[in-house]
Structure 1
C-alpha cells in the first residue's frame, strides 16, 4: 500500500509547502489538497477562515517540490467548467513534468454554493452535470477534437493544447451507485472515506460496476482516507474517536498496522494521511508525522515487501 499526505488547506501556504516537502522527503506517493472556496460549517453558514485555492497552490508546489503526485481532492463540477479546469490542470502537469492528478466530484458543500451564488441542484442533476464534465475531460485530455451537445455542457469543435505529458489520471471521489458506474466508465482512480469495514463493501460495489461496464476492475486504482491518531493512551484514543466518530481510528502502532492491512485486504492501493489529525504547530506536527512514519508507515512498507 502507498501513502499520501492530505494537507489541510485552511493553513497558510508556507505550511502546506512544508507539508509537501515533508511528504516528498519521506517517500510518500503524493500530496492531496481539497478544492473548496470556503471552509465547511456544521450549520451551512458562511465561514471566514482562510482557505487555499487548490490549483494555484498545487501549481506553486509543482515548481518547488519534486517527485510527489499533486492531487485535487476533489474539484467539484458544480462550479468548474470542464475545459477551464482541464487547462489549469494541464499547466500543473507541465510544470510538474507529469505529476498532476485531477480528482473530480459532483459537489456537495452547501455554504460555499449559497454564499457565492453558485447553483447546487438536487443530486440527480448534479450527477448529470458531473457525467457530462468527466466525459468531456476524458476525451479532451487525449487531444481529441470534439463537439458535445449536452444538457449542461456544450462544445463546438473543441480541442485542448497542449495535452498532458502522459495520460492525465482522473480520480473520482464517490460512494453512490450511479457515480460508481460513471467511475467505472471514465475514471482511472477512485476514492472513499471510511474505516476498513466501511470501505470493503464500497470497493466490492465498484468491482461490480466495472464488470457491468466491461471494464477490468484492476484497472482502477483505489484509495481511502480517515483521520488517524497514533497513541497508546486509552483516554486520548477514546477522546479522538468520540470527536471524529466513523471518520477516524486510533491506536498503537501495531493496531494501526493491522488496520492498514485490512484496508489492503479490502482492495485499497493507497491511503491518505490527513494533517488535520496532527498538531497545528508546524514543528510539532512534523515531529508527530515523523514518529507516525517511523513507527507505522515504514513498517507497513517493510511488511508488504516480505
Structure 2
C-alpha cells in the first residue's frame, strides 16, 4: 500500500535566526510542496518541547504559521500535530481551521488532542484542567467542530462549552469537511474517540503500535465504525544523518504493511533544502510504489 509523506517542522532554531526565519521557512515549505510531500505540519506549542530543546528555543504560534505556509505552497495539506484542545475555545478553533481551509483552497486538516504540556500552559496562563476534564472537553470540541463544519447553527449545551449559535460563514471548502485527525495512543479514551469521531489517527512507531491498531479496531467494532475508513498516520523521523534512503524506505515498507497511509517526518536540519532532492529522486517514488 502506498505511503504518503508529510514534512513535520518542529524546530525553528535555525542558523540565521529570527530575522531570516520567515524567508527560510517559506523556502522550506515551497520546496517540500514542489518535490511532492503530501502535507506539512507544525506542532501546536508556544514553547519548545523537551525532546527538541530547551523551552527558550524559538517556537511559532501554529495557526499563524499555517496561514503563512498556505501562502507559500500550492498542493500540500496543512495541519498541526496536534492542537491541544484547551489552547483555544472550540468555536474559535473551528473558525481558524475553516479560514485556513478557505484561504488554502481546501487544504486544511484538523489535528487535535487532549493537550499534555502543563509547563507552557501554566507559564502563559492557558487553561490546563485535570486529565479527565481535558478529555471531556476534547469530546465536546469534536462535536462542536463537526457541527460547525457542517453548517449546523443549533446552540450547543455541553458540560464545559456552551455556544449560543454555531454560525460559521463561510463554510470550509473541503467536503464533507476538513479531515479530523486525533493524535495519541491512549487505549481507553483517545483511541475510542478516534473510532467515534476521527477521519485520521496519529501514532508513534513504537513496538506496541500493532497492539494500538488492534485496540482501535476493537473500539471501531464496539461503536459500529468501519476501521478501514480511518486513515492511519504515524510520526516518523526522516533523518538522513542517521539513516540511509534505503533504510527509510524499508521502514516505510514495514509501516505500510501495518496499514499506515501517511508518515509525518521531521528533519534535523529542515532549513537545508538540498536534502529534499533525495526525497524527490529516491524516497518519495519508492514510498508511492509500496
Q: Which structure has more RCO (C-alpha within 8 Å, separation ≥ 6)?
A: 2
Is 1:37 aligned to residue 46 of structure 2?
yes
Instruction: Determine the C-alpha separation between the residues in 1 that align with 2:67 and 2:279.
Output: 28
Partner secondary structure for residue 191 of structure 1: strand
Q: How many residues align?
A: 277
Instruction: Determine the C-alpha separation between the residues in 2 that align with 1:61 and 1:253.
Output: 27
Instruction: Determine the C-alpha separation between the residues in 2 that align with 1:100 and 1:292.
Output: 23
Deviation at 1:292, TM superposition (A): 4.2
Instruction: Determine the C-alpha separation between the residues in 1 that align with 2:79 and 2:33.
Output: 14
Q: 1:65 to 1:228 in 2, by over 3 A?
A: closer
Unaligned ranges ≥5, structure 1: 232-236, 238-249
TM-score by length of 2: 0.89
2:106 — aligned with what? 98
2:9 — aligned with what? 7
1:234 — aligned with what? none
Match of 1:158 among 148, 162, 166: 166
Match of 1:269 among 245, 251, 261: 261
Unaligned ranges ≥5, structure 2: 14-20
1:241 — aligned with what? none
Instruction: Determine the C-alpha separation between the residues in 1 that align with 2:170 and 2:144.
Output: 16
Partner secondary structure for residue 23 of structure 1: helix
CA contact (8 A) 2:36 2:280 kept: no
Structure 1 runs of 4+ with >6 Å offset: none
1:140 — aligned with what? 148
1:172 — aligned with what? 182
Is 1:66 aligned to residue 97 of structure 2?
no
Q: 1:180 to 1:262 in 2, by over 3 A?
A: same
2:36 — aligned with what? 27
Match of 2:277 among 290, 302, 305: 290
2:17 — aligned with what? none
CA contact (8 A) 2:79 2:108 kept: yes
CA contact (8 A) 1:5 1:273 kept: yes
CA contact (8 A) 2:43 2:62 kept: yes
CA contact (8 A) 1:13 1:52 kept: no
Match of 1:16 among 21, 25, 30: 25
2:18 — aligned with what? none
Instruction: Determine the C-alpha separation between the residues in 1 that align with 2:56 and 2:238.
Output: 27
Instruction: Determine the C-alpha separation between the residues in 1 that align with 2:160 and 2:97.
Output: 21
Q: 1:9 to 1:102 in 2, by over 3 A?
A: farther
Instruction: Determine the C-alpha separation between the residues in 2 that align with 1:104 and 1:114.
Output: 20
Instruction: Determine the C-alpha separation between the residues in 2 that align with 1:224 and 1:17.
Output: 25
Instruction: Determine the C-alpha separation between the residues in 2 that align with 1:190 and 1:17.
Output: 27
CA contact (8 A) 1:103 1:173 kept: yes
Deviation at 1:217, TM superposition (A): 0.9
1:216 — aligned with what? 226
Match of 2:59 among 41, 51, 74: 51
Instruction: Determine the C-alpha separation between the residues in 2 that align with 1:261 and 1:21.
Output: 27
CA contact (8 A) 1:200 1:263 kept: no
TM-score by length of 1: 0.84
Is 1:256 aligned to residue 248 of structure 2?
yes
Bigger proportion of residues as strand: 1
Bigger proportion of residues as helix: 1
CA contact (8 A) 2:185 2:191 kept: yes
